[in-house]
Structure 1
Amino acid sequence: MRTPERNVALGHCLGAIVWIVLFVAGFGWGAWSLAHARLDAKTVQTSAWLDGSAGTALNKALRLPKQDIIETVNAAARYRLLGDLGDQAALGCPQWLFYRDGLRPQPSAGSGVLQDRLRLMRYWTGELRAQHIGVLVVAVPDKSRIEASHLCGQPISQVMQQRLDTWQAALRADGVPFVDLRPVLSGHTASMFFRTDVHMNADGARSAAAAVARAALPLLANEKGTQAFDVGQPGAPEIRMGDLIVLSGLEHAPDGWRPALEKVPPQTIEPVRGGGLLDDTPPVEVLLAGSSNGRRSNFAPWLGIGLGREVWNLSMDGGQFSGALVSAFKARGQWPKSLKLVIWEFSENALSLPLTDDEKAVLERLPSTTANAAGTAAHPA
């Protein structure tokens, strides 16, 4: 006959066995996952632990079976019950989503990051001028600045917002042409950005591209090209999965357990070709080295329409401050001799992001004080 004390002891033993089995299974799964993760030494070096990238890499390596489903359920419940979208997105109203990196700086971004990027700017613009190639700098204002009426109490870092003024003042002092898109995108009744995405919508991209084209033409001898474009009519609205929905882990959540998806009419814009066998494309005169803004909402085609030239678009997703520009410089030997202007575009919040490895590598090659690459007077638009 079992006494109550013996039953308690037996329960403790069974509980301990269960926990031991779980710990052993977890340890075994973790060891197997790490052994097959193929993490290189650079991924787990000291600097990677300090900026958080090592932890991110390990989290990806230690994923459990069916973890995607578990994470979707957790994210959906968190949104539905708490109105919380996780670490990368913030919820405004009504159902407006904002990128947290546009609201406050990352902890690993030091106060000197803007000065480092000013050094990089002076170096790169100097390199372009040495090749007799013009440059036009375009910082796309953050969505939180333009659509501030939808923030509904979400706090914004004033330090981050002041950096754009500091940046443009430095460009002006150095004689680097730039475009200030704040007055272009502000004050409209219609929204200029997608509700569930960090990018400009069709209206915003078209307005921004027209302003950039107006500022670029004086750098092209005020000569608009003759390239024609076929602008298609907008089609029937289609559901669009916003990137902030994806970042929140709600891509596969059911309706009602995530913010409502947007419906956007697609539109195609193509350069008009002659169609002949010897129909050569016009020489490349303008290169767009931009972020994902340059790949969304027909920004590059609208820019080409404003310039009368087809734009060589090297913009890249995840390009941040200088990804596309660095990539373009690495292939500088293949640039066509006809190139006259580089339009360097990035999002405002990229000024406050931690330096990338490519940016750090360039800074290491520069003297402590990069010479001022002053040239002609700036042309803010």
Structure 2
Amino acid sequence: MIRALLVLAVIFSGLAAVLTRGHDALGEVLRTTTVNDLTNGQFAQHIDKAIFNAVPRSSTLDGLVIGAQYRLLHDAGRQVHAGCGDWLYSIEELRADRSDADYMKARAELLPYLVRSVLRLGTALVIVPVPDKAERVEEQLCGMRALQSRSRDHFREELARINGAIIVDVRPDWPRPGYWHQDTHWDQSGARFAADKIAQAITVTIGPGGDKVRLSEGTWRNRTGDLARLAGLTEAPIRLAPAPEQERDVKAEIERGGGLLDDAEDASVILAGSSFSLNSAFADYLQVALSREVAQVSEPGGGFAGALLGLLEKNPSGLAKAKVVIWEWPMRSLTAPLTDAERRFLERLRKQAAR
């Protein structure tokens, strides 16, 4: 009932605004319309344009409506699920689709070929699947269960069949909650934990690093989560919006010896990940934990293999110079539609197999 009344209020306020603000423009359309306009569709176009120009545009009003929907109806829009206590979740983690199994099957086909492509260059490969926030913080879903996240966990059976690569499972002893309330990514405690765990696996493989890396921690600042932006809640009044979270400025500083003209060595570790590798100072924590410089080539929206495919296709020689490449990807990307790069790589592999 509340939802219906709210929708009706918005509709009638919009209609009133159109009639008030667009009265003159609509009258002009009616006065100047010809018979030809009625037969060739021009009349409808003129009416649509007059109505569009008459609709009031106000970020304040939009924010008020979005905030009211969130607080009164527990509704964060089509792309975001509102959990308990101002916890927000990406619908991508919760939604099931008939094509999910096909996408996972295609990536299971890609996986061994990508691994072999890296190992063939003489570079060690560390694979880091990032668990869904819905699976790690399921208790805040508010009546829902992370069934889709658990269905993607079957892909770990494919990872177990891989030879030669190092698989890092960050789930055991995971710090709670480890994810931001209003963002899809891990928070700084989760990022630091994951960095330490990955560094342990790399150190066992290539030994300890020798760089002097110092972690500089600055002031705290408000952080706007990507899910809050996606839901439009950043435009809502303070009393209706979720309370902002706080993040600390963190930066890894590498002490370099030698003169100004000395050439810096290429980084021995390459980080080819998704937006998780670009958030919450993860790369900075990783460099400190490794005592090594890390070359960051991660891509926002890189999904399953965006950054790694970019390296293999555009810079295989740079990949060959590294001792380790870290391939980080979110589990939710397994059921996302294949990217153009993934399709090209898969088609090439299938043609080779058919010869």
TM range (shorter): 0.7 to 0.9
- Is the CA contact (8 Å cut-off) linking 2:222 and 2:246 kept in structure 1? yes
Which letter does structure 2 place at the counterpart of 1:193? Answer: Y
What corresponds to 1:227 in structure 2? 211
Q: 191, 196, 221: which one pairs with 1:205?
A: 191
User: Aligned with 1:197: secondary structure?
Assistant: coil
Shift of 1:234: 4.1
Which letter does structure 2 place at the counterpart of 1:250? Answer: L
More helix, by proportion = 2
What corresponds to 1:183 in structure 2? 172
Which letter does structure 2 place at the counterpart of 1:170? Answer: E
Could you say if the C-alpha distance between residues 310 and 84 of structure 1 is closer, same or farther in structure 2, counting changes exceeding 3 Å? same
Matches within 5 A, 1:23-42: 23-25=44-46, 27-28=48-49
Which letter does structure 1 place at the counterpart of 2:125? Answer: V
User: Aligned with 1:232: secondary structure?
Assistant: strand
RMSD value, Cα? 2.9
1:303-348 deviations in Å (ceiling 9; x for gaps): 1222221111111111111111122223224516531221110111
What corresponds to 1:138 in structure 2? 128
Query: Unpaired runs of 5+ in structure 1?
Result: 1-13, 34-63, 372-381
1:139-186 deviations in Å (ceiling 9; x for gaps): 11111111122222133234x41322x22222221213211111142x
- Tell me how far apart the structure 2 counterparts of residues 26 and 171 of structure 1 sit (CA, whole Å): 58
Could you say if the C-alpha distance between residues 110 and 97 of structure 1 is closer, same or farther in structure 2, counting changes exceeding 3 Å? closer
- Tell me how far apart the structure 2 counterparts of residues 283 and 140 of structure 1 sit (CA, whole Å): 27
Q: 269, 284, 289: which one pairs with 1:301?
A: 284
Choose between structure 1 and 2 for higher RCO, CA contacts under 8 A separated by at least 6 residues.
1
- Tell me how far apart the structure 2 counterparts of residues 340 and 29 of structure 1 sit (CA, whole Å): 63
Could you say if the C-alpha distance between residues 224 and 162 of structure 1 is closer, same or farther in structure 2, counting changes exceeding 3 Å? same
- Tell me how far apart the structure 1 counterparts of residues 230 and 243 of structure 2 sit (CA, whole Å): 15
Q: 329, 346, 354: which one pairs with 2:337?
A: 354
Matches within 5 A, 1:53-92: 66=57, 71-92=62-83
Shift of 1:368: 7.4
Q: 215, 221, 224: which one pairs with 2:201?
A: 215
Shift of 1:25: 3.4
- Tell me how far apart the structure 1 counterparts of residues 239 and 98 of structure 2 sit (CA, whole Å): 35
What corresponds to 1:170 in structure 2? 158
The number of aligned residues is 316
- Tell me how far apart the structure 1 counterparts of residues 197 and 277 of structure 2 sit (CA, whole Å): 14
What corresponds to 2:34 in structure 1? none
Could you say if the C-alpha distance between residues 267 and 26 of structure 1 is closer, same or farther in structure 2, counting changes exceeding 3 Å? farther
Percent identity at matched positions? 32
Matches within 5 A, 1:100-179: 100-105=91-96, 107=97, 109-158=99-148, 160-164=149-153, 166-175=154-163, 176-179=165-168
Query: Unpaired runs of 5+ in structure 2?
Result: 1-22, 31-42
- Tell me how far apart the structure 2 counterparts of residues 234 and 157 of structure 1 sit (CA, whole Å): 39
User: Aligned with 2:129: secondary structure?
Assistant: strand
Shift of 1:80: 2.7
- Is the CA contact (8 Å cut-off) linking 1:295 and 1:315 kept in structure 2? yes
User: Aligned with 1:312: secondary structure?
Assistant: strand
User: Aligned with 2:302: secondary structure?
Assistant: coil
What corresponds to 1:96 in structure 2? 87
Which letter does structure 1 place at the counterpart of 2:152? Answer: R
The alignment's TM-score, normalised by the length of structure 1, stands at 0.75
Which letter does structure 1 place at the counterpart of 2:108? Answer: L
- Tell me how far apart the structure 2 counterparts of residues 29 and 122 of structure 1 sit (CA, whole Å): 58
Could you say if the C-alpha distance between residues 76 and 23 of structure 1 is closer, same or farther in structure 2, counting changes exceeding 3 Å? farther
Residue 236 of structure 2 is aligned to residue 247 of structure 1: no
Could you say if the C-alpha distance between residues 174 and 70 of structure 1 is closer, same or farther in structure 2, counting changes exceeding 3 Å? same
User: Aligned with 2:250: secondary structure?
Assistant: coil
Shift of 1:274: 2.9
- Tell me how far apart the structure 2 counterparts of residues 94 and 23 of structure 1 sit (CA, whole Å): 47
- Is the CA contact (8 Å cut-off) linking 1:301 and 1:310 kept in structure 2? no
What corresponds to 1:269 in structure 2? 252
User: Aligned with 1:287: secondary structure?
Assistant: strand
Which letter does structure 1 place at the counterpart of 2:46? Answer: A
